[in-house]
Each structure stands twice: as structure tokens, then as C-alpha cells.
Amino acid sequence: MSDSLNALIQKVTQQLAVIYHDVALDMTHQALAERLVNEMRIGETDTPPAPYSNHWSEQDVIMITYGDSLIKAGEKPLNTLRDFADNYLQDHVNCIHILPFFPYSSDDGFSVIDYSSVNESLGDWQDIQAIAQDKKLMSDLVINHCSSRSLWFENFVKGEGQGHDYFFTANPHDDLSQVVRPRTSPLLRRTETANGEQYVWCTFSHDQVDLDFRNPEVLSQFIKIIRQYLDNGVRIFRLDAVAFLWKVAGTKSINLPQTHEVVRLLRTLIEHAKSDAVIITETNIPNTQNLTYFGNANEAHCIYNFSLPPLLINTLITGNCLYLKRWLMSMPPAQDGTTYFNFIASHDGVGLRPAEGLLSDPEIGELINTMKSFGGAISWRTSESGEQKAYEMNISLFDALQGTTNGPDKWGMQRFICAHAIMLALEGIPGIYIHSLLGTRNDYEKLKNTHHNRAINRHRWDYPTLEEKLADQDNPHAKVLNQMLTLIDIRTNQKAFHPNATQFTLHLGLSLFGFWRQSLDRRQSVFCVTNVTDQPVELPISELNLVITESWLDLISGLEISDLTKAIELQPYQTVWLSNQK
């Protein structure tokens, strides 16, 4: 055995000892480590990953989509998606996150029946591979729970076969008062099994039954699943709802030390199998808790910037950037080998837990009421004290930004593009929901048919109809796509927008939100400033302290800054990216 392989086994052994320190196993930690390394097929010739390596650049932009967000009669949706990418995304967007593309029973894919198969209504593994040949592919690893209709759970009910011991059960008399829930449904599902009545832990819904990672067979199965995804071209893993993975009665059962160690273990195995593979943790929790998933640059490569969507929307509907600026100032620079995953819209709603402690309850209440007035819905959770609290706002981003707290206005398009101009320039990798690229509005019909709040922002486009709209340059959807791709193209050509480039917050009052980016080689500086109000605002150039010996221009408009002593007037929701390099 090579020294590097032996070192890997010893590292995994130590990680397993932390995870299972109070769990009796029928094998040693080292024997389990050797098994997992073998299941991941890490061999003597695999090169250990270089520490603190950034596997990304300013050219990385991820589009988030369902496999069937675009539908064309007689064609597999994954082929339609690939056609859209070929015809419209081309070199603008180099990564695609396909939301769960497996057979499922509920939650639009997040209740997985079979992890090893592609949902036949979408296509097959060859279609996934074809997309992975042209774009970096991001996939969900729905690791906390699976479907109650899965073979595993059927075997649990029967009390025999693979899966019979894969699920977490509890006693209704256990102390579960502290458990953090993202839903209002009962935590435990009463289930009749061959072994008698059992109560299965369900963090989300009773169709999404939680897996029991105290059983190393569950971990082993997921290592095999990860290996299969790697073989089929997946290079970015989104660990769905991973914060809830380890449970202990009498605790909050969220963010437990064993959960963090499992993330570290998965990173170790994944990056030894494919040195450029990346883990992103999906932890929709308060900001300070979310940041812990970086670890010491040894857990997630990327974490979702969950506080960005509610704070940015709040800024643009109030015309006041105070809270967004405070938050940005408090965010630590990501170490090399880690970065933020920035997004402002997704298949889920706009989470409110990440705004807790950043916005006051009355301010969150005003935000909620404004979104409701714009046609949005609100989803609720049960808090630790048993009260009902707003968990997320369900609304398309285009509709969320159609106006201010005073109501709808004429600035909706500008406000929407402005939000993305801010997001695209921030430290981190930008992720853009397909419905943001297309300016899709609230889908009230789907909401009515499904009775699921999140359906409002999960529209399915008839692809030929969409093509007609995109061919008409005066159509709002075509205007949105063209403006978005233009901004993306500017971003991907600026070294100062590398995900790990330096970032400092600017202090320009409450109407102007700004920050400074500097490239890793320190040659390029970009001052990113946005008027977040519906009135013109003057930007005093002198307050930016631009170096007088350099030439400055706005990358977005092309305006050259010839006099550094004068102010320039920013129109409502206008953004400038002032750079010393073209």
C-alpha cells in the first residue's frame, strides 16, 4: 500500500472514530475506513488533493434548474434542457445545477425513491452524461431522508432486506421539545411494521423519512451513490438539508458535531476520488450557524449565502441598504479552498431564518406583508417554543421586486436587473435560477393545482412557446435574458470578480450600496456601487479614492470617468462597476 493511500485510510479512520464515538459497531473504525475507501474506488495511483486549492474562477456561473423546467412534446426534458443550454447559454454559463433528477414521490424530487436511477420521464444517465460533457454538472445528494415509497422503507416495514435498519426511530415519550423543525407537521410518523409499532423521525414531511447514520451501512450506501454520480459526470455535490443529518433526543438535533464530521468525511473521500470535485452544503439556518460549515477549510468547499436573498430584497423594496451593508461587513473572507455560493432566487422560497438576528421582527413582518401584496405566499414552521413562525416567502423574484413597500411601480425591470448586478459582483460563485434568467412570473395555476406554496416559483415552460418569446426582442422575457447574459459576460471577464478576490464594503450612505473588489494579483480594482432607491442619487467619485494616475470606466455602461472630482448621477436602481482595467 502506498504511503498516500495509507495516510488516507488513517485519516478516514480518525474521522469515523469521531462520528461513531458513542455507537457500538460490529467492525473496527479502520476496517470501516478501508471498506469506504474501497467503495469509493480510491487506488494507489489517485493523486491526493492539493490543500487549499480553489477549483473555481470568475468564469464560473451556475444555472439552477429542474430537469423538466422546459418541456417540448415528444422530447425528453433533459434533451430539451441541453438544447436550451446549447442555443442560449453557450459560453455565458458554464455550470448547470439539475435539481433532483431521480424517481421521487413528492416535494418535486426531494423525496427520492431510487438514488441510482434517472427519472425515466426526464431521460437517462446518458442524457446526464451528455450535459456533463458540455457543462460542469451540479447534483443534489438528498442525504437526510428518502421517500416512504422507496424499497428501503418498504423493507423497513417488512423488517427484512436492505433498508430494514436504515431509518431513524424515536419514542414519543423521548424529550423532543428542543428539536428544530422547518415544518409544522408532527415530527414522528407512526408506522406499523413486522417488528411492531414504530415511530419514524420525519424532519420535513411524513413522505420524507429520515435516515439513521448511526448505522454505518447507511453511510456505506451513500458512498456508493456518490461514486456512481462521479462516474456519470457530477463534479459539484449539493448536500441537501445536511444540517439535520444526526439526531439525538434531548437536543436540537441540528448542526451536531457528528454532522460536521460526516461532511468532513465526505469531502475527504470525494476529493481523493476526484481532486476537482466540490461539496456545497445546503444549510438554510441562521447566518452564524451557516458559516460553521466551512470548518477550518476542511468541510464544505462552498456554503450557500442564505442571508443574501432576504436582505437584498429588503434593501430594494425599502430603499435602505443599512442591513445589507452591516451583514456584508460582518462576513469573513473565505479561506483559499472555500468560497460562498451566492444566489437570490431558487426552486425554494426566500428563507427567513437566515434573516433572524439581522432584521427585527417588525421589519421581517413588513417584508412578509409586501411580498403577500405582490402575490406571494408564506410557509410556516413550528419554533422551539411551539409557536408558528414564518419560515419562507414563496414568490418569483421578478414579482418580489415589482415595487417597494409603497406598492408596485414602473421600476420592476430595473430593480430586478439591479439585484443581479449586485449578486454577480459579490465575493463567491453566482447561482442563477432559470426562472430569473427568463423573468418568469408567479405561477398561480400551478399553485392552485398542487396546493404547495413552492409551486408558485416552479413554472414549467412550453419550450416552443418560450422560443417564440425569446425571438421577439421586445418581449419582456427576451429583454431579461439579454440583459442578464450581458452582465454575466462582463463579470466573467474581470479578474477582480474571482470568487476569492478581496472585498471591502464602502460607506456611501443608505441610498448607495457599494463594495470594492481587487483581483488576486492586485492589478484590477472594481468599485461596485448601486442606487437602491427609486430616485436619482449622486455618487461623489471623490469619496471612492480612485487612484488618480489610472484611467477609470464603468464596465456596464462604458462611461469613462475623466474627472475624479465630480459626482455622477445614478438613476433609480442603476449599478456601476468602476474599473481601472477594461
pLDDT for residue 28: 97
Residue 384, pLDDT > 80, answer no
Residue 236, pLDDT > 90, answer yes
Residue 582, pLDDT > 90, answer no
pLDDT for residue 432: 98
Which residue, 529, 526, 538, 506, is CA-closest to 575? 529
145-210: CATH superfamily:
Oligo-1,6-glucosidase; Domain 2 (3.90.400.10)
Give the contacts of 370 (CB within 8 A, at least 6 positions apart).
317, 403, 404, 405
pLDDT for residue 3: 85
> What is the rounded CA–CA span in Å between residue 147 and residue 115?
10
Torsion angles phi and psi, residue 106, rounded to 5:
-165, 180
Distances in whole angstroms, Cα of residue 11 to Cα of each of 1, 17, 38, 54, 450: 15, 10, 14, 22, 47
> What is the rounded CA–CA span in Å between residue 566 and residue 561?
9
Residue 107 counted as an annotated binding residue = yes
Residue 348 counted as an annotated binding residue = yes
80-130: pLDDT as tens digits: 999 999 999 999 999 999 999 999 999 999 999 999 999 999 999 999 999
> What is the rounded CA–CA span in Å between residue 30 and residue 209?
30
Cβ-contact 238, 347 below 8 angstroms = no
> What is the rounded CA–CA span in Å between residue 538 and residue 571?
9
Residue 554 counted as an annotated binding residue = no
- One DSSP character per residue, 310-364 reads HHHHHHHHHT--HHHHHHHHHSPPPPTT-EEEE-S--SS-EESGGGBTTB-HHHH
Residue 491 counted as an annotated binding residue = no
Most distant CA pair in the chain, distance:
81
pLDDT for residue 334: 97
Which pLDDT band holds residue 387 (cuts at 50, 70, 90)? confident
Which pLDDT band holds residue 25 (cuts at 50, 70, 90)? very high
How many beta carbons lie within 10 A of that of residue 370, not counting itself?
22
Residue 523 counted as an annotated binding residue = no
Residue 187, pLDDT > 90, answer yes
Strand 512-518 and strand 525-531: the pairing is antiparallel
Q: Say which residue the cell 418560450 belongs to.
A: 466
Torsion angles phi and psi, residue 14, rounded to 5:
-65, -40
pLDDT for residue 383: 73
Residue 114 counted as an annotated binding residue = no
Torsion angles phi and psi, residue 231, rounded to 5:
-65, -25
pLDDT for residue 78: 98
State the chain's mean pLDDT as an integer.
Answer: 96
> What is the rounded CA–CA span in Å between residue 111 and residue 204?
10
Residue 381, pLDDT > 90, answer no
Over residues 365-383, mean pLDDT: 93
pLDDT for residue 392: 94
pLDDT for residue 284: 87
CATH 3.20.20.80 residue ranges in the chain? 62-144+213-497
83 a catalytic residue: no
Give the fold, CATH level 3, of 62-144+213-497.
Answer: TIM Barrel (3.20.20)
pLDDT > 70: percent of the chain: 100
- Among residues 212, 240, 443, 554, the one annotated as catalytic is 240
pLDDT for residue 358: 94
Residue 145 counted as an annotated binding residue = yes
501-515: pLDDT as tens digits: 999 999 999 999 999
31-77: pLDDT as tens digits: 999 999 999 999 877 778 888 999 999 999 999 999 999 999 999 99
Over residues 532-546, mean pLDDT: 95
User: Does 1.10.287.610 match the CATH number of domain 502-579?
Assistant: no
Q: Say which residue the cell 411601480 belongs to.
A: 409
Can you say how many angstroms the Cα of residue 510 is from the centroid of all Cα atoms in its chain? Answer: 28
189-215: pLDDT as tens digits: 999 999 999 999 999 999 999 999 999
Over residues 532-539, mean pLDDT: 98
pLDDT for residue 79: 98
pTM listed for this prediction: 0.96
pLDDT for residue 285: 87
